[in-house]
Amino acid sequence: MNILLLGSGGREHAMACQLAASPRCSHLYVAPGNAGTAAMANHYGQTSIQNIDIPPTDFKAIHACVLKYGIEMVVVGPEAPLVAGIRDYFESQPLLRNVMVIGPSKQCAQLEGSKDYAKDFMRRHNIPTAAYRTFTADTLNDGIAFLHTLKPPYVLKADGLAAGKGVLILPTIEEAERELTAMLKDAKFGEASAKVVIEEYLSGIELSVFVLADGKHYKLLPTAKDYKRIGEGDTGLNTGGMGSISPVHFADKNFMKKVEERIVIPTVKGLFQEGTPYKGFIFVGLMAVANNTTGELDPYVIEYNVRMGDPETESVFPRIMSDMVDLFEHVWNGNLQQTSLEIDPRTAACVMAVAEGYPEHYEKGRPIKGLAQVNDSLVFHAGTRISSDDQVLTNGGRVLCVTTLANSMPEALLKSYQEISKISWDGMYYRRDIGQDLLKMIVTK
């Protein structure tokens, strides 16, 4: 089968490795891909792999590429093409209708594309989430009054996609009032903050749960925890993610039972019942909140994403032992219940290395050294490209990550840190405390 994978991050490199490893995949095209996916061409005997220089939101160019290369399956990595309706585009084109697009419809993608839509969906289906209300410029005064009914810190969320920057957590009422006004009246996040969700602050520990759904049935993929802040000890600016660990030990059987019963089943069922069956990955960002009565952790939804997480994919996907092409075919055919998911029980630890200055201003084009010295771990490229003289250069803020699978988290972390230290470029930075919070929880338990 010829497969097209859309995207260019570490997530897509990790997905590409799984797809290429399937005996069912004869040609894998990655649009636009990175230096990591370009280099795969030499590593998978039976599969040919090639980058195609097309942006993942250029539907016309993707259309032409699918016809030119006889593509039968399109796997969508990032959210932008989904929110822009790539699934619906394929369904509307007679020659593309039978191509298996792995990703939800435009309507379902609103779960990520609009916070208000997602919150309203959760309310309709009694899915546990923080209490909230939504405001526009016309109801700014009501919004300010609502803020006064809440306790600090205050959580303000731009309704639309705001490149991961649209959530503000503010310690004082004065800042909350000021920021709410800037979002609604001064379009602080452009059109994305024409509506703002104000919600109750949830105190707890976050984790990511991933679901692969075929419209009616679903499989739970391994859990992961990511590390969002740039600085050690979870300090400094938010990033796309600086590392990840899978599985998350506190998401035990009892906790995951609650996640399934209270969140996953009502989500998949709710979408089906509303006539918008969901096919693809659902990424549920959860807060595990201590229940004062039972003493147990209870899951609350912080957000839905309509794709896999990055860098969670880089620790989750290497643990999936089932054939990914088979799984995706079951998603398309709506019979996921007929297949089983095999998971590697080991722990995966992923450490992301970024360019100096990220997530603000950073330079690109720095030569990366030492890649060939890494042999005990996986290296997933994110922002990299190959120069005309065949050097691997930095080409983004998040540059690459190293993932190790081992029998314990300390072992996996030790190896990832040993291996990443063999790689270097001018201005390379990575956090040295990935997983430390989880290790402390285990020790103090």
Applying CB under 6 A, the residues found at the interface with ligand AMP are 130, 155, 157, 167, 169, 199, 201-202, 206, 228, 285, 302-303
Q: Is 72 helix (H, G, I), strand (E, B) or coil?
A: coil
- 226: partner contacted, choices ligand GLY, ligand AMP, none (Cβ within 5-8 A by kind): ligand GLY
Environment class of residue 68 by beta-carbon count within 10 Å: exposed (0-12), middle (13-18) or buried (19+)?
A: exposed
320's contact among ligand AMP, ligand GLY, none, with CB below 5 to 8 A by partner kind, is none
Q: What is the CA radius of gyration of the chain?
A: 21
Chosen from ligand GLY, ligand AMP, none, partner binding at 61 (C-beta under 5 to 8 Å by type) = none
Closer of 99 and 209 to ligand GLY (Cβ): 209
Measured in degrees and rounded to the nearest 5, phi and psi for residue 412 equal: -65, -40
Residue 125: what residue type?
H
219 CB-near residues (< 8 Å, 6+ apart): 211, 212, 327, 336, 341
Closer to ligand GLY by Cβ: residue 310 or 419: 310
- Residue placing its CB nearer to ligand GLY in the complex, 226 or 419: 226
Binding site residues, ligand GLY, CB under 6 A? 226, 241, 305, 309-310, 312
Q: How far is the CB of 198 from ligand GLY (least distance, A)?
A: 21
Closest CA to 197 of 127, 266, 129: 129
Query: At closest approach, how far in Å is the CB of 160 from ligand GLY?
Result: 15
Name beta bridge partners: 350: 244, 403
Main-chain phi, psi angles of 440, to 5 degrees: -65, -40
Least CB distance to ligand AMP at residue 171 (A): 12
Give Cα 162 distance to the centre of its chain: 15
Tell me how far CA of residue 317 lies from CA of 19, 73, 313, 384, in angstroms.
Answer: 10, 19, 5, 20
Nearest distance from C-beta of residue 317 to ligand AMP, angstroms = 21
User: How many Cβ atoms sit within 10 Å of the Cβ of residue 158?
Assistant: 24
Least distance in angstroms from the C-beta of 209 to ligand AMP: 13
Residue 29 or 283 having the CB closest to ligand AMP = 283
Q: How far is the CB of 162 from ligand AMP (least distance, A)?
A: 9
Closest to ligand AMP by CB, 160 or 215: 160
